[in-house]
Amino acid sequence: MRVIILDTANQVAQYAADLLLETVRKKSRPVLGLATGSTPISTYQQVINAVQAGQASFKNTTTFNLDEYIGIDDTHPQSYRHFMKHYLFNHIDIDLANTHLPMAASLDETRLVENAQDYENAIQEAGGIDLQLLGIGENGHIGFNEPTSSLRSRTRIKSLSESTIEANKRFFADGEYQPHLALTMGIETILESKHILLLATGHKKAAAVKAMVEGPLTAMCPASALQQHAKACLVLDQDAAAQLSLKDYYVWCEKQRQELT
């Protein structure tokens, strides 16, 4: 894994936006994997700024999001479709018909299983994901692949952990239905992406980052599966990198890489 440590969360966001925009500019029909959560919001704003300044176009871009809550309509304010429209899609020149999230509104298990397979098929038909954007949960999850998730998992129904439910509780009103299930890309699905870009900021992510980078490859830290990917890039701020034992080494390695290129 390539580990890049920057001073601030704003620098992380700009670095990630530059990589997303580079992919869009270089590919004739780019396919991006996108993430929700608080971490990528600043990155999306940087992308919006570039598009609105005429520096990039998403007209020929296709996107696939990692996951969606089960049991709420995609017009619900807490659906990830709504999130993506609010923080990115409504502000750039992308064709909404080319933006994909798992279809998860149904509560019928058979239908959800079929939708999960359809999602896998759609990714393959698009030619695979060129660049997958990820965040990391405090318990090491990527997408909604919680600890103990199979490292060979595909898009599927997943129960959310109590810690994830608690972390997301702030987004739902008191007494409002909060989903405890999601459709999520599996770990193997994620690993099939040609490039992976994981962002982590803040001291609350430091333990998960250490487990991902320096811990064993284990289902107890799903993000550790990225150790197997040939082109996984982790972009961290100082707080998220604070617990890394070999932090100075990663900084030195990146300096050597920059001098080489």
**For this structure, is 139 an active site residue?**
yes
Q: How many Å apart are CA 131 and CA 20, to the nearest integer?
A: 7
- How many residues belong to the chain? 261
Say how far apart CA 144 and CA 110 lie, in whole Å: 20
Which tokens is 13 given? 């966001």
Instruction: Please report the pLDDT score of residue 163 as a whole number.
Output: 85
Q: Work out the number of other CB atoms within 10 angstroms of the CB of residue 187.
A: 25
Could you tell me the pTM of the whole model? 0.96
| pLDDT higher than 90, residue 60 | yes
Q: Per residue in 69-87, pLDDT tens?
A: 999 999 999 999 999 999 9
Residue 176 main-chain phi, psi, to 5 deg = -75, 145
CA 209 from centre of chain: 15
- Whether 188 sits among the annotated catalytic residues: the reply is no
Rounded CA-CA distance 42/20 in Å is 13
The Cβ of residue 7 has, within 10 Å, a number of other Cβ atoms equal to 9
User: CB under 8 Å, gap of 24 or more: what pairs does 36-41 form?
Assistant: 36/65, 36/66, 36/67, 36/80, 36/83, 36/84, 37/135, 39/135, 39/199, 39/200, 39/201, 40/13, 40/16, 40/133, 40/135, 40/199, 41/87
Per-residue confidence (pLDDT) for residue 153, from 0 to 100: 98
| Active-site position among 100, 146, 229, 237 | 146
The question of whether 76 is a catalytic residue gets the answer no
259 CB-side CA count, 13 A: 6
Chain-centre distance for alpha carbon 246: 25
CATH number at residue 148: 3.40.50.1360
Tens of pLDDT, residues 216-242: 999 999 999 999 999 999 999 999 999
Q: Which residues pair with 134 in a beta bridge?
A: 198
**Interval 146-184: pLDDT, tens:** 999 999 999 999 999 898 888 888 888 888 889 999 999
Range 112-127 burial, b when 16+ CB lie within 10 A, else e: beebbeebbeebeebe
The catalytically annotated residue of 67, 68, 130, 237 is 67
Active site residue 146: yes
End-to-end Cα separation, the chain, in angstroms: 17
When pLDDT is cut at 50, 70 and 90, the band that residue 117 belongs to is very high
Q: How many domains does the chain have?
A: 1
Which residue in 65, 68, 115, 139 is the catalytic one? 139
For residue 125, give every residue at least 6 positions away whose Cβ sits within 8 Å of its Cβ, in sequence order, or none: none
Give the active site residue among 65, 100, 130, 141: 141
The boundaries of the domain holding residue 16 are 2-260
